[in-house]
Chain A
């Protein structure tokens, strides 16, 4: 087949028909020119100034990125297609590299993914997608790890306290076992049946191959364990850990093996587990109603990951759930459950498979039901009709008219609750599906919760539990490595940060695995104060006294980390990603086998209650993007970064002082507040206009800088109040202990034309810290007729390289204001 000469522009290479171009190269240039002219006139997919890569060297050389493919579409507010275009093509192999670039940094090319979306005041929505490539001058060598193993501190204490013949439980990490490299799930909604089947078979085969490889590598270890009269408790072939029980006397031999790289042991578990739930959704608070009102409520199918027909939130709990709670239903009169799977994880049959389908309604369901209801509860569709459910205004179950129901509607012979009650009791993602894992039974139970979350393809993992104070960002256990796998397979993992009285601390106080960079860690602010309810913009403060002993329901980030180029840096990693409400009324609680009770006067406290807010909100963001065909949100790290963007940047200069109101940080996350309180922004919300959203995923194997023009180089429109950018580093801590040193810089330049953005910056804002997250915001300046330039710089890179996600938007409304 003939290929058009490379000198031809991308504009003419692939529009409307790949083959047209190919054929026309030989025989019909007139036709080709016609196509090209139309492209230019339409300003479609390729009408953009290329980002630039500058390698850090003695003589830095700025090189434009090469466009691989670009697509563009615009629709009216009612969804009618106005325009669309396609340039180039992303091959299946390139798609894998775009999705998880950090796994391919040993190759000679690096791929960069860009997406953008804008809405005008008429509600017309334009969106685009681009993939770029650049040569990788410094391809990395994949490390080969070998023993003898690192032995975690908790294991040494544990082993030394045991007698020789006492059985001890050890978790063994296999040497030279590959990171999670199974192809991502295909989407039957975005592929033909034949293509979907082929890709699904490819993934399934890769899973089988991985399990087989695990067995081969583990065989000699298993043999030694059996010879020592020990047993294998669990095989976790996803992260590459073997859980065994062996006599204490067998420990030293295992600790000298070359085919084990780390030994971990059982942790001591420390779980301590009237703002109405629905109030939080309102525009002046979290703003989730902006999504719900537009029907982005978690009810969109994510066929790329599962067939539940809704975005699926997996909720992991130490205890059980009120599994049949009315709020988890989908239809009136407590029917049609949205709980699509329930797994009991205490290995009741001792077969080593800890989580198996089972009933989770036990005597200890209050905590799990409350956290789940914050994410999932829905009473909006008459679910509660005909049942009292703790509503003090309830009159009667059956009815013939509203006079039987304290004036509320009588529907189908059942009394309704008031609309206010229904709204107050409804959580963040009322149409999402729930996957419940409970009754953990121990560490392996928690590990298997994440293992099964990957198998089921749940979108989000919500966790309101944790082990003791850690502040160690390295991944040193089966649990943390399994979370790394879940992240790498596209699961957004949310954890409560911990009830550690963090407001009184000036050094790190976070639990584990919350301290893993790939976990979205949520602190709590006290919504149950009149200040917060009445003046939410500045007076929703970190909870300082609601947890046991009058302590604050909060953690404090600031983990010490080894930073490339700088060595050990104390207080480097903020750990905390965002804050969300605690002190919530109207959460659903336990009734022991019934439909649950909505606690009207209750006060659900702890970071446990903050985390599921974020889980539910993330389901809304996924719903929105999936409904727009943006399957990229399923790729690892993207949703995490999107949720970092959905914050208001508020923090307190002194979290221990109740009179110190919050204000907005301009750069750099805070140790207590992360990037601020969660605050939703829906990209096609015309009340935010002008609004333009952009995201890029870019990787580094050496020091250098990418330069982007996220909103193009043309004049910015009038009416912009702020520009905000967030960067997240995909730091995989399963094989290393250091992190890369990144810098995010945003410049407002004066000379905006269709071909360049230049001139001495009018304003420059830089986020340059050792954290794995960066935030930059610009406001109080004139954006009109100017342009924005963004640089993402790797100042120093670890030997593993680094993949980053950067999201920016401009908006006509500040990020802490009500649209």
Chain B
């Protein structure tokens, strides 16, 4: 998967309250490498949210964006990456790992096969770099903060 292969840790900030910026170690919020239980390995890309104990990263959003034609915007992709992760976690509360984002997307779409199968919501903890989410979503959940 193509993600930023730099070893520098990235973090994100809001500029003007709306735009997500990722910068390198100087603005990093944590130590060199972040562990995601999903992969069990180092994640050097920017974390935009956590769902339970799992990270949703900018790379996840990019993967989602690369798989959908026509592609959603990067912001829409990140929100979708979050939604598919929420859906997975809420349906697998005891999961020790989450599958790769492309599999989570597949599972999410399968869940939408019928109205009775609409994905559920799961508790979301704050991520270290926030999300330039839909303003409505921010207000509704009140769970995102700027870094």
Contact: A35 with B4, CB < 8 Å? yes
Q: Tell me the nearest residue of chain B to A632, going by C-beta.
A: B69
Q: In the complex where A1-B15, A192-B83 touch, is A17 in contact with B137 (Cβ < 8 A)? A: no
Nearest Cβ on chain B to A579's Cβ, whole angstroms = 31
Task: Report which A residues bind B (CB closer than 8 A).
Answer: 1, 14-20, 22-23, 27-28, 31, 34-35, 38-39, 42, 44-45, 69, 71-73, 81-86, 89-92, 95, 98-99, 113, 115, 127, 129, 131, 188-195, 198, 301, 303, 307-310, 629-632
Nearest Cβ on chain B to A200's Cβ, whole angstroms = 13
Docked Cα-Cα span, A675 to B52, in Å, equals 55
Stretch in B30-38, B55-63, B89-97 with 4+ CB within 8 Å of A: B55-63
Residues from chain A with Cβ under 8 Å of B112 in the complex: 188-189, 301, 303, 307
Answer whether residue B42 sits at the interface, using C-beta atoms and an 8 A cutoff. no
Q: In the complex where A1-B16, A301-B113, A307-B112 touch, is A198 in contact with B134 (Cβ < 8 A)? A: yes
Task: Report which B residues bind A (CB closer than 8 A).
Answer: 1-6, 8, 10, 12, 15-16, 19-24, 45-46, 58-59, 62-63, 65-74, 76, 79-80, 82-83, 100, 102, 105, 108-110, 112-115, 119, 133-134, 136-137, 140
Q: In the complex where A17-B46, A17-B58, A86-B71 touch, is A192 in contact with B82 (Cβ < 8 A)? A: yes
Residues from chain A with Cβ under 8 Å of B24 in the complex: 28, 31
Residues from chain A with Cβ under 8 Å of B108 in the complex: 189
Contact: A307 with B70, CB < 8 Å? no
Docked Cα-Cα span, A98 to B69, in Å, equals 11
Among A20, A192, A629, A630, point to the contact of B10 (Cβ < 8 A).
Answer: A20
Q: In the complex where A31-B8, A86-B71, A303-B112 touch, is A23 in contact with B2 (Cβ < 8 A)? A: no
Docked Cα-Cα span, A632 to B115, in Å, equals 23
9 contacts between A and B (CB under 8 A): A15-B2, A16-B45, A35-B4, A72-B66, A90-B71, A131-B70, A192-B134, A194-B134, A301-B113
Chain B residues touching A, majority SS: mixed
Q: Which of A195, A307, A309 gathers most chain B CB within 10 Å? A: A195
Contact: B74 with A89, CB < 8 Å? yes
Contact: A84 with B66, CB < 8 Å? yes
Q: Which of B23, B108, B140 gathers most chain A CB within 10 Å? A: B23
Residues from chain A with Cβ under 8 Å of B102 in the complex: 81
Docked Cα-Cα span, A630 to B133, in Å, equals 24
Residues from chain B with Cβ under 8 Å of A17 in the complex: 4, 10, 22, 45-46, 58, 62, 74
Docked Cα-Cα span, A134 to B137, in Å, equals 35
Residues from chain A with Cβ under 8 Å of B74 in the complex: 14, 17-18, 86, 89
Residues from chain B with Cβ under 8 Å of A28 in the complex: 23-24
Residues from chain A with Cβ under 8 Å of B15 in the complex: 1
Nearest Cβ on chain B to A125's Cβ, whole angstroms = 12
Q: Tell me the nearest residue of chain A to B106, going by C-beta.
A: A79
Docked Cα-Cα span, A121 to B63, in Å, equals 25
Docked Cα-Cα span, A10 to B116, in Å, equals 43
Contact: B113 with A23, CB < 8 Å? no
Nearest Cβ on chain B to A2's Cβ, whole angstroms = 9
Q: Which of A17, A81, A129, A630 gathers most chain B CB within 10 Å? A: A17
Among A1, A195, A631, point to the contact of B79 (Cβ < 8 A).
Answer: A195
Q: Tell me the nearest residue of chain A to B100, going by C-beta.
A: A81
Contact: A16 with B3, CB < 8 Å? yes
Nearest Cβ on chain B to A513's Cβ, whole angstroms = 30
Q: In the complex where A86-B65, A90-B73 touch, is A309 in contact with B134 (Cβ < 8 A)? A: no
Residues from chain A with Cβ under 8 Å of B23 in the complex: 20, 23, 27-28
Q: Tell me the nearest residue of chain B to A73, going by C-beta.
A: B66
Contact: B4 with A98, CB < 8 Å? no
Residues from chain A with Cβ under 8 Å of B73 in the complex: 89-92
Nearest Cβ on chain B to A56's Cβ, whole angstroms = 29
Contact: A23 with B68, CB < 8 Å? no
Contact: A629 with B69, CB < 8 Å? yes
A17-B62, A195-B134 are known contacts; what are 15 more A-B pairs with Cβ within 8 Å?
Answer: A16-B2, A16-B3, A19-B19, A31-B24, A45-B66, A83-B2, A85-B2, A86-B62, A86-B66, A91-B73, A95-B70, A129-B69, A190-B80, A309-B114, A632-B69
Nearest Cβ on chain B to A341's Cβ, whole angstroms = 14
Contact: A191 with B66, CB < 8 Å? no
Contact: A193 with B83, CB < 8 Å? yes
Among B1, B58, B68, B137, point to the contact of A190 (Cβ < 8 A).
Answer: B68
List the 8 closest A-B pairs by CB distance, nearest first.
A309-B113, A192-B79, A84-B66, A19-B21, A189-B109, A194-B137, A129-B69, A192-B83
Q: Tell me the nearest residue of chain B to A633, going by C-beta.
A: B69
Residues from chain B with Cβ under 8 Å of A72 in the complex: 66
Docked Cα-Cα span, A779 to B2, in Å, equals 37
Contact: B76 with A195, CB < 8 Å? yes
Q: Tell me the nearest residue of chain B to A113, going by C-beta.
A: B70
Q: Tell me the nearest residue of chain A to B62, going by C-beta.
A: A86
Contact: A31 with B6, CB < 8 Å? yes
Among A18, A38, A83, A190, point to the contact of B5 (Cβ < 8 A).
Answer: A38
Q: Which of A44, A188, A308, A310 gathers most chain B CB within 10 Å? A: A188
Docked Cα-Cα span, A35 to B62, in Å, equals 14
Among B2, B12, B66, B109, point to the contact of A38 (Cβ < 8 A).
Answer: B2
Q: Tell me the nearest residue of chain A to B76, going by C-beta.
A: A195
Docked Cα-Cα span, A160 to B106, in Å, equals 62
Nearest Cβ on chain B to A692's Cβ, whole angstroms = 16
Docked Cα-Cα span, A552 to B23, in Å, equals 72
Contact: B67 with A98, CB < 8 Å? no
Q: In the complex where A31-B24, A71-B66, A630-B69 touch, is A307 in contact with B115 (Cβ < 8 A)? A: yes
Residues from chain B with Cβ under 8 Å of A82 in the complex: 1
Nearest Cβ on chain A to B6's Cβ, whole angstroms = 6
Nearest Cβ on chain A to B16's Cβ, whole angstroms = 7
Nearest Cβ on chain B to A684's Cβ, whole angstroms = 15
Residues from chain B with Cβ under 8 Å of A81 in the complex: 1, 63, 100, 102
Q: Which of A31, A45, A86 gathers most chain B CB within 10 Å? A: A86
Docked Cα-Cα span, A339 to B59, in Å, equals 41
Contact: B2 with A84, CB < 8 Å? yes
Q: Tell me the nearest residue of chain B to A625, going by C-beta.
A: B69
Residues from chain A with Cβ under 8 Å of B70 in the complex: 90, 95, 98-99, 113, 129, 131, 631-632
Residues from chain A with Cβ under 8 Å of B12 in the complex: 19
Contact: A71 with B65, CB < 8 Å? yes
Docked Cα-Cα span, A44 to B2, in Å, equals 9
Q: In the complex where A20-B4, A22-B21, A309-B114 touch, is A89 in contact with B136 (Cβ < 8 A)? A: no
Residues from chain B with Cβ under 8 Å of A98 in the complex: 70
Residues from chain B with Cβ under 8 Å of A190 in the complex: 68, 72, 80, 109
Nearest Cβ on chain B to A1's Cβ, whole angstroms = 5
Residues from chain B with Cβ under 8 Å of A194 in the complex: 79, 133-134, 136-137, 140
Nearest Cβ on chain B to A355's Cβ, whole angstroms = 22
Contact: A71 with B2, CB < 8 Å? no
Residues from chain A with Cβ under 8 Å of B1 in the complex: 81-84
Residues from chain A with Cβ under 8 Å of B83 in the complex: 192-193
Docked Cα-Cα span, A192 to B105, in Å, equals 11
Contact: B5 with A71, CB < 8 Å? no
Residues from chain B with Cβ under 8 Å of A309 in the complex: 113-114
Residues from chain A with Cβ under 8 Å of B71 in the complex: 69, 71, 86, 89-90, 129
Docked Cα-Cα span, A86 to B72, in Å, equals 11
Contact: A73 with B67, CB < 8 Å? yes
Q: Which of B19, B68, B133 gathers most chain A CB within 10 Å? A: B68
Among A23, A113, A188, A632, point to the contact of B22 (Cβ < 8 A).
Answer: A23
Residues from chain A with Cβ under 8 Å of B100 in the complex: 81
Q: Which of B16, B46, B67, B140 gathers most chain A CB within 10 Å? A: B67
Nearest Cβ on chain A to B11's Cβ, whole angstroms = 11
Residues from chain B with Cβ under 8 Å of A45 in the complex: 66
Residues from chain B with Cβ under 8 Å of A630 in the complex: 69
